[in-house]
Structures are given as C-alpha cells and as structure tokens.
Amino acid sequence: SQKIEQNSEALNIQEGKTATLTCNYTNYSPAYLQWYRQDPGRGPVFLLLIRENEKEKRKERLKVTFDTTLKQSLFHITASQPADSATYLCALDNTGGFKTIFGAGTRLFVKA
Amino acid sequence: DSGVTQTPKHLITATGQRVTLRCSPRSGDLSVYWYQQSLDQGLQFLIQYYNGEERAKGNILERFSAQQFPDLHSELNLSSLELGDSALYFCASSFKALSNTGELFFGEGSRLTVL
C-alpha cells in the first residue's frame, strides 16, 4: 500500500543547531515533493517544492533534498530559532492523479 | 494571509445534523481541495475540484459531499453527523490547473464539533 512516513516522535533541538526531518514514501512515484509548516490550529503554509529531477533545493535557512532511489526527502533548518517550532509536513502528488497526499508530520521544538 | 477564505471558523452541532462548510479560493485559482484533520491526526485528503468538476476523491465518506460552483467557490456538505466527524476541515486552492503540480494555499480551517 502507499505510505508516507515521517518521524512521529517530536524533535527537540537547541537554538542555533540544524534540525533535520525525514520523509520516506513507498509505492509512490511522485513528480515532486513539498514541505509545509503547520502551527497549532492553523492551516499549513507552503515552504518548498522539489521536483524529481532536482537533488537539492534551498531557500534562506531551509534546505530540501530528494532521493528518488531511496524514496526519501530530508528537510533541514539551519541556525534554528524558537520561532521555527511547529509541525512540518511533507506532501507528494499521486502521479497520474490529482491528489496531494500529506504525511502525518513531525513536531519540532527549538529550545532557546 | 493565504487568500483562501473559509466559513464558518467554528461550528458546534449535534449528532445526526447536517452542516455546510464554505470555501472561497484565491483569486485566479481553479482547483479546490478539501482535507480533514482530526485531533493529532494528519491531513486526510477528501476531494478535489477543478473548474467545477470533480477531479480526485480520497477517503470521503458517503455522508459527505462537495461541489464547486461557477464562481469557483466550493462547499463541503456533511450529513448525519457523528461524534467522530469532529475535526478541522481545511480547504486549499492551487494555481495550477489540470494537474496537481503546484503548491497549495490553505485556509484557516473550519473547526467542527459534534456533540
């Protein structure tokens, strides 16, 4: 069956360190993968999109990698700040369809 | 502000009742998506519309239905409500048209509580 797996355990890191979140998927062949941020009780906010032919993408302190062989994406936040504390969701398209399917998300806590 | 408007923000109703959630997409976006997020659960894809037509269906219950109108706003109808339907319902819109190749812009959600 199709699965998108993100670490269900919360990630606790110290301010200034790099946070690395993982997204693994099975039985998908996505053309692209997205990362979103969600604060409690709020709607998800788009952060980055990476296509299947891209290995890495950066935006300010954010970096995403996409390995279609491993079926994995890594999401990095460098120089993390307490304001980065949120749930981070990965999402991918169901190739051939029109759905964007989300992982359950990983909660990140950045301690000052 | 994402530009996606959802109403109502909060709704409390009783089991067996019917409610309608409304979504106005961003100006120019033709695609509308509905998601359900229960407490401590991930976003569950319900249904997608493009320019008035249903394009994809997820795990949407038969008690639920949706439509997209000519002005592109969308409504999600939930009937014969059960306690387990209590959740945040999100609408999202996308600029990309025929295929799902773009970022989604989410509204702030409608929080439904069924008592």
Per residue in B66-86, pLDDT tens?
999 999 999 999 999 999 999
Q: Tens of pLDDT along B25-48?
A: 999 899 999 999 997 678 999 999
The tokens of B94 are what? 């996308």
pLDDT at A93: 79
Structure tokens at B98: 């025929």
Report chain A's mean pLDDT, rounded to a whole number: 92
CA A62 to chain centroid, in Å, comes to: 10
A104–chain B Cβ distance below 8 A for any pair: yes
Q: How far apart are the first and last CA of chain A?
A: 41
Please report the residues numbered 2 through 21 in chain A whose beta carbons come closer than 8 angstroms to any beta carbon of chain B.
none
Higher pLDDT among residues A9 and A37, named by residue: A37
| Opening angle at CA B36, ends B35 and B40, nearest 5 | 130
pLDDT at A94: 67
Is residue B23 within 8 Å of B91, Cβ to Cβ? yes
Pick from B76, B87, B69, B57: nearest CA to B30: B69
The pLDDT of residue B39: 79
pLDDT for B33 equals: 94
Q: Which of B24, B107, B15, B92 is nearest to B58 (CA)?
A: B92
Chain B, 30 to 59: residues with Cβ < 8 Å from chain A are 31, 33, 35, 41-43, 45, 48, 50, 55-56, 58
Which residues 60-99 in chain A show a CB within 8 A of chain B? 89, 91, 93-94, 97-99
pLDDT at B1: 85
DSSP annotation of A90 reads: E
Nearest chain B Cα distance for residue A104, angstroms: 4
CA-nearest of B78, B105, B114, B81 to A42 is B105
Q: Does B113 touch chain A (CB under 8 A)?
A: no
Task: Tell me whether strands A32-38 and A86-93 are parallel, antiparallel or unpaired.
Answer: antiparallel
How many helices (DSSP H) and strands (DSSP E) are in chain A? 0, 11
- Give the model confidence (pLDDT) of A21-32 as tens digits: 999 999 888 878
pLDDT value of position B96: 64
